[in-house]
Amino acid sequence: MDFRQEWITTIHDFRIDERSIISSLEELKDERPMTLLIPMLYEEIHGISLNNIIDHINESTYLNRVVIALAADDEHKYVEVKEFFSRLKISHTIVWCNGPTVMHIVDELKEKGLDITMFAGKGRDTWIALGVATLDSYAIAMHDADIVSYSKLLPAKLFYPIVEPELSFFFNKGYYARIDMEKLIMYGRVYRLLLSPLLNTLLKKTKFNSKFLKYMCAFKYPLSGEFGMTSDLAINIRIPGDWGLEVGLLAEVYKSAALKRISQVDLGFYEHKHRSIGTDSDEGILKMVKDITKTIFRNLVEVDGIEINEAFLQSANVQYKRTAQDRIRQYQADALCNGLNYSRHGEECMVEEFSKIMLASGKEYIDNPSGVLLPDWKRAISAMPDIREKLKDAALHDHNTYR
């Protein structure tokens, strides 16, 4: 059993008691209101996870509200989602993030000189819904809509370190074991074969002087989409608009909060849908690799002033491949001892592919080092003081209009 502490506080699940932690949250819900944020696509109402998630949320009596950040192509799909969530007993708001009402407000914001129209996808939807969620909440927790192994303890673990007055962390990141216990497969490929060896490679190249890289290496699973944070922090940080969302968010938290106010919590075994590899660097896991790599390079420059040039990239790429190949031998041993199905050849091929994408995305960064960060909510409110209220009214308008 792991009990090691890191640069950031690690909250292990040695014997977390569900009834005790939920009882404490119920006592705190009036003093420190909690909102659960769930970004989702329309298609996820037809998946195997969301019905179970709703059942457990209905038992989560400590929640004040649920905000659903929805991406749907037309009003018929929006109505389907609205009807699907009609059995959610907790007060909830569906924000149709790419719907005409919300997009009209986005266009208004552009007229005020703040243009987010070039952004799309989960990053933008999360940003929009955060505006609504921060209106009357002390804390916000976010998780995806495709979690198979879901229970009401999962969001409770994300909230508790933040709302418990004796702890009062500003940000809490979930981590978990990416093992499919039915198929006996080890997942988490992007973290295992790209991010972890890359971070450690870069840490060595900076002669272990980068506090940012030490911070990133302290997270047991930086790519998890599950986290909790205070509303105050939420409106003061910028959110990446691409697939570097999770890594970029951690970088923004590093710039905005003291390390002693950041924690991570064990969410146990975890199962959700898995992305396809993709045929090129603009789709699937390969798109993730591209965006994550650029996010890491950009923050190395912003935080530590590291010069990223072609010689640096070539050297880092060689060292990364060696580190990743060493990890593969370690994962094979772990899999063999645990009776897991493991293809060493398949993982070696993936590292080769990741290496190419890493090199190409690094060169793209050198040619165009500008970031893809959405503005923080403080700036948005400065540009349009009532924007959050307008977004909340837009969600209510859609709910009452589309039937």
Residue 261 domain flag? no
pLDDT of residue 314 exceeding 90: yes
Q: What is the pLDDT of residue 160?
A: 98
Q: What is the pLDDT of residue 283?
A: 53
Among 185-199, 201-215, 221-235, 262-276, the range scoring the smallest mean pLDDT is 262-276
The burial of 113, by beta-carbon neighbours within 10 Å (0-12 exposed, 13-18 middle, 19 or more buried), is given as exposed
pTM above 0.85, yes or no: yes
Residues 70 and 101 occupy one common structural domain: yes
- Residue 395 pLDDT level (bands cut at 50, 70, 90): very high
Domain count, the chain: 2
Mean pLDDT, all residues of the chain: 93
Residue 191 domain flag? yes
Q: What is the pLDDT of residue 120?
A: 87
Report the 10 Å Cβ neighbour count for 232.
Answer: 12
- Residue 324 pLDDT level (bands cut at 50, 70, 90): very high
Task: Give the span between the Cα atoms of 184 and 164, in whole angstroms.
Answer: 37
Among 191-195, 213-217, 271-275, the range scoring the smallest mean pLDDT is 271-275
Residues 35 and 153 occupy one common structural domain: yes
pLDDT, mean of residues 173-202? 93
Residues 202 and 350 occupy one common structural domain: yes
Residues 161 and 217 occupy one common structural domain: no
Q: What is the pLDDT of residues 357-385, one digit of tens each?
A: 999 999 999 998 876 789 999 999 999 99
- Residue 294 pLDDT level (bands cut at 50, 70, 90): very high
The burial of 336, by beta-carbon neighbours within 10 Å (0-12 exposed, 13-18 middle, 19 or more buried), is given as exposed
Residue 260 domain flag? no
Residues 215 and 331 occupy one common structural domain: yes
Q: What is the pLDDT of residues 231-280, one digit of tens each?
A: 999 999 998 877 778 999 999 999 999 999 999 999 987 665 545 555 55
Residues 327 and 276 occupy one common structural domain: yes
Q: What is the pLDDT of residue 398?
A: 98
Tell me what percent of the residues of the chain surpass a pLDDT of 70: 96
Q: What is the pLDDT of residues 119-132, one digit of tens each?
A: 988 999 999 999 99
Residues 14 and 159 occupy one common structural domain: yes
Residues 15 and 85 occupy one common structural domain: yes
Residue 209 domain flag? yes
Task: Give the span between the Cα atoms of 40 and 387, in whole angstroms.
Answer: 22
Residue 330 domain flag? yes
Paired with 68 in beta bridges are 38, 94
Q: What is the pLDDT of residues 341-360, one digit of tens each?
A: 999 999 999 999 999 999 99
Residue 267 domain flag? no
- Residue 105 is part of which domain span? 1-168+375-403
Residues 357 and 243 occupy one common structural domain: yes
Residues 19 and 149 occupy one common structural domain: yes
Paired with 141 in beta bridges are 36, 228
Sign, CA torsion 268/164/25/381: negative
Task: Give the span between the Cα atoms of 13 and 82, in whole angstroms.
Answer: 35
Residues 17 and 154 occupy one common structural domain: yes
Q: What is the pLDDT of residue 280?
A: 53
Q: What is the pLDDT of residue 180?
A: 84
- Residue 315 pLDDT level (bands cut at 50, 70, 90): very high
Residues 154 and 244 occupy one common structural domain: no
pLDDT of residue 399 exceeding 70: yes
Q: What is the CATH number of the domain that holds 46?
A: 3.90.550
Q: Which residue shows structure tokens 């004796």?
A: 166
Q: What is the pLDDT of residue 240?
A: 84
pLDDT, mean of residues 42-57? 95
Residue 281 domain flag? yes
Residue 109 domain flag? yes
